[in-house]
Structure 1
Amino acid sequence: MDLVSDAIAAVRVGRPSSTRLRVAGRWCARLDPYEGAGFHVVLAGDCWMRTEDGAAVTLNTGDAVLLPHGSGHVIGDRPAGPAALARAVPFADWSRTAGDPNSPSAPGDTELLCGKYRLDRRHTHPLLADLPDVVHVPARSGHHDELRSAIALLGREVGRAHPGAAIALPSLLDLLLVYLVRAWMADSTTARWPAALHDPVVAAALHALHDDPARGWSNEHLAAHVGVSRATLARRFTALVGRAPMAYLTWWRLSRAAALLRTTPDALDTIAARVGYSTPYALSHAFSRQYGTTPGRYRAALTA
């Protein structure tokens, strides 16, 4: 079971986008709230960022920041007061006037990689919901070396017409998202989900449910599978996951069904069998209750 991959796959829609920019002098850009997750990587120089409700964060060369809930924010050459923030240029307009990142750099230039991931937020996996508004991963020697390597590769790939870029770039952007979530999980000391995945009982239960959601699980069966009493499993699982085991299983089965409807042409009876429903009707009834629409209409809306 790879819960991070499952959590991301359950909400991913479409392909990520990115822009590589070089800026100098005084600048300040505004990004409105977005139905997805945004990110910035400082490839050279430094800048600052502030969300609508948060304090300013200084970003230095090699720093990466993820905004997993698509929070509106401003990014600029230095911290600024409310009046300056109100005059911030919309990012789309500002990015069209930024310098060519492939041109020779000058002292004081800041080079950025900015992008977005499209996510279906209607039923976000609780692991991703547990992320703070801003995940800031500073560049430190020996700290999250795999993230540093991904950033270096992205810096060489974005904005350049290398052979195979159409495949390499989206894959590297997906890798960046995984590494940023991993970094948060490794560094977090108070969040619920990192604790859940370090609890041997809860992690084993999650492993079982994700590995085989179609199995006929019950509270008794799952408790026996992980080697504890039903009461112990219910107490520890609910405290760390935020849902009772069978409630989480139902939610996960329907999330998997939604992902399969988005990403495969499989018939409803095939999807029902894969996620643990005995008939397409049973899946359709449960799906409609959670998503507010039938599986067929859900799939049709994605292709409309």
Structure 2
Amino acid sequence: MDVLSDVVAAIRAGRPHSARRYKYAPWGLKWPDGEDAAFHVILRGSAWLVLPDAKPVALAPGDVVFLAHGQGHGLASGPDVPLGEVRQLPDGTWSGPPEERGAGRPDTVTLCGTYRLDRDRGRRLLAELPDVLHLPAHVGGHRALRAAVELLGMELEEQRPGTDAIVTSLLDTLLLYILRAWCEREHTTGRGRGWAAALADPAVAAALCALHGAPGRAWTVAELGLVAGLSRAAFARRFTALMGEPPLTYLTWWRMTTAGRLLRHDDLSLSQVAGRTGYTSEFAFAKAFKREFGVAPGRYRRAARAS
């Protein structure tokens, strides 16, 4: 079981959006605070990321910026260039000021987009991400991420048959590569806890894989310790230290997250969803689900299908 892929699949809420933009200096765009996570890639030329209460960040070709928390920000040809407002349309796309085309080759080509994420379900992962994740391009670094960016840019430029499906898949791939790069950077710098540290820890990672692979199993801490190759007490201490909560608390969260996904996307009965998520009765499942989501599972399903 690939835990990172599993969690990202569970917290996605809606279709991602992206656009390739050609810029002629001077230019500047400003995105307001919002719910969606945003990303920007500099395909050609350079730009400045303009942040509230922080110094502008110079971006070079190949740089990737990910803003997980929907923070308002600007992107411009220079740190002092006026910024034109960008607003989100009902379909999730963005509308900005008219683009002025210059003569010849554009100074900068960007790839910008957004991800709609379920922040309640994804709080454990998203809370650990910085407001701004800047992944500078460098020789030999994040090669898979660069390849995904190149393919995405090509598809958005050429608009051939199948582009819509390919772009959606590539955007999902890009998000995973961004998060993988963050995990690797956190592990390399030894910063210590949460998802990045847990996935790099063989014992805790083995237990997470087991929980995600069989959320309906009646796991005990001792059984998870055996999977991790540790005593019950040693495993409980290590898991809690890295994940910030005990193993069975995490298991309950993952069961409810799995249940929400099944209710949104599958036609299983409530008793079948209960069984797949470790509950012996529909009543016990409904009680736990309402405690977690604030609504009964049937009502949650109807609301999710109607939206």
Q: What TM-score does the superposition give when structure 2 sets the normalisation length?
A: 0.90
2: distance between equivalents of 1:18 and 1:209?
34
2:96: which partner in 1? 95
2: distance between equivalents of 1:223 and 1:289?
28
Compute the displacement of 1:159 (Å).
4.4
Compute the displacement of 1:263 (Å).
2.0
Q: Does the CA contact (< 8 Å) of 1:19 and 1:159 recur in 2? A: no
2: distance between equivalents of 1:203 and 1:23?
44
Q: Does the CA contact (< 8 Å) of 2:84 and 2:97 recur in 1? A: no
2:62: which partner in 1? 62
Compute the displacement of 1:90 (Å).
1.3
2:23: which partner in 1? 23
Letter in 2 for 1:215: R
SS state at 2:41 partner = strand
1:6: which partner in 2? 6
Letter in 2 for 1:11: I
Compute the displacement of 1:266 (Å).
2.1
Q: Which of 131, 136, 139 is equivalent to 1:138? A: 136
Q: How does 1:37-186 map to 2 (within 5 A)?
A: 37-80=37-80, 88-92=83-87, 95-98=96-99, 105-106=104-105, 109-186=107-184
Q: Say whether 1:254 aligns with 2:256.
A: yes
2: distance between equivalents of 1:174 and 1:142?
23
2:91: which partner in 1? none
1:219: which partner in 2? 221
Letter in 2 for 1:118: R
Q: Say whether 1:267 aligns with 2:262.
A: no
**Range with greater deviation from structure 2 (187-196 or 5-14):** 187-196
Compute the displacement of 1:300 (Å).
1.9
1:32: which partner in 2? 32
2:90: which partner in 1? none
Q: Does the CA contact (< 8 Å) of 2:192 and 2:242 recur in 1? A: no
Q: Does the CA contact (< 8 Å) of 1:7 and 1:128 recur in 2? A: no
Residues 279 and 42 of structure 1, relative CA distance in 2, 3 Å threshold: same
Q: Which runs of 4+ in 1 moved over 4 A?
A: none
Letter in 1 for 2:257: S
Letter in 1 for 2:271: D
**Range with greater deviation from structure 2 (188-197 or 30-39):** 188-197
2: distance between equivalents of 1:104 and 1:258?
52
Q: Say whether 1:242 aligns with 2:244.
A: yes
- CA deviations 1:252-299 (Å, max 9, x no partner) are 100111112222222211211111111222111111111111112222
SS state at 1:35 partner = coil
Q: What TM-score does the superposition give when structure 1 sets the normalisation length?
A: 0.91
For these two proteins, the number of residue pairs brought into alignment is 296
State the structure with bigger RCO (CA 8 A, min sep 6), 1 or 2.
1
RMSD: 2.0
Compute the displacement of 1:94 (Å).
6.6
Q: Does the CA contact (< 8 Å) of 1:29 and 1:94 recur in 2? A: no
SS state at 2:280 partner = coil
- CA deviations 1:143-175 (Å, max 9, x no partner) are 111111111111111143201112111011111
Residues 260 and 143 of structure 1, relative CA distance in 2, 3 Å threshold: same
Letter in 1 for 2:239: F
2: distance between equivalents of 1:58 and 1:110?
13
SS state at 2:109 partner = strand
Compute the displacement of 1:10 (Å).
1.4
State, as a whole percentage, how many aligned pairs show the same letter. 45
SS state at 2:42 partner = strand
